[in-house]
Amino acid sequence: MSKSSGYDYIASPLAGKILAPSGGDLVLAEWTAEGTPSGEEPQLIAPLHIHHHDDEAWYILEGTLVFQIGDATLDANTGGAVIAPYGKSHTFWNPNQTPARYLIIMTAQISALVNAIHATDERNPETMKKLFKQYGSDLL
């Protein structure tokens, strides 16, 4: 990342990087969701959860992701965008065999939650519920 004109931070290309200016509340990352093997059930990329103060959004660069937001199930294909407003339960998955590339736009608090999840070796439900709670969210 490099600083540009004292105003913005730039990651060019973003490809696999996280763009998060120090002290800012907006985080932009490009991630890939591996495909679902033929005949298998898709695995959730994130478990069903809710953020109590933070919106979260996705823009599909390539492929398809399916989202459950509240009671609605939405397919988002290349060029599609989805927002999960705070207070709405949500999860998502890649239903296809081919990988999906997407941008995820999140707050610094959600990014810190993701980092905490990836940093722990304790993946039991009790530990995960505590982590989600610590970052203003609930694992459902």
Give the domain CATH number at 46: 2.60.120.10
Phi, psi of 127 (to 5 degrees): -65, -45
Residue 115 forms part of a structural domain: no
pLDDT band at 22 (very low <50, low <70, confident <90, very high): confident
Report if residue 125 sits inside a domain: no
Residue 99 lies in a domain: yes
Residue 136 lies in a domain: no
Query: Distance between CA atoms of 128 and 71, rounded to whole angstroms?
Result: 23
| Residue percentage of the chain with pLDDT more than 70 | 87
Rounded-to-integer distance, Cα 86 and Cα 90, Å: 10
The pLDDT score that the predictor gives to residue 20 is 77
Residues of the chain with pLDDT > 90: what percent?
81
Tens-place pLDDT, residues 48-101: 999 999 999 999 999 999 999 999 999 999 999 999 999 999 999 999 999 999
Q: Is residue 23 part of a domain?
A: yes
pLDDT at 118: 93
**112-127 burial, b for 16+ CB within 10 Å, e for fewer?**
bbbeebeeeeeeeeee
pLDDT band, residue 24 (cuts 50/70/90): confident
Grade residue 6 by pLDDT with cuts at 50, 70 and 90: very low
The count of structural domains within the chain is 1
Residue 121 in domain: no
Residue 123 in domain: no
Query: Is a pLDDT exceeding 80 seen at residue 16?
Result: no
- Establish if 128 belongs to a structural domain: no
Q: Give the sign of the dihedral formed by CA 121, CA 37, CA 77, CA 43.
A: negative
Could you tell me the residue range of the domain that residue 99 belongs to?
2-107
Q: What is the pLDDT of residue 28?
A: 93
Distance between CA 85 and CA 69 in Å, rounded? 9
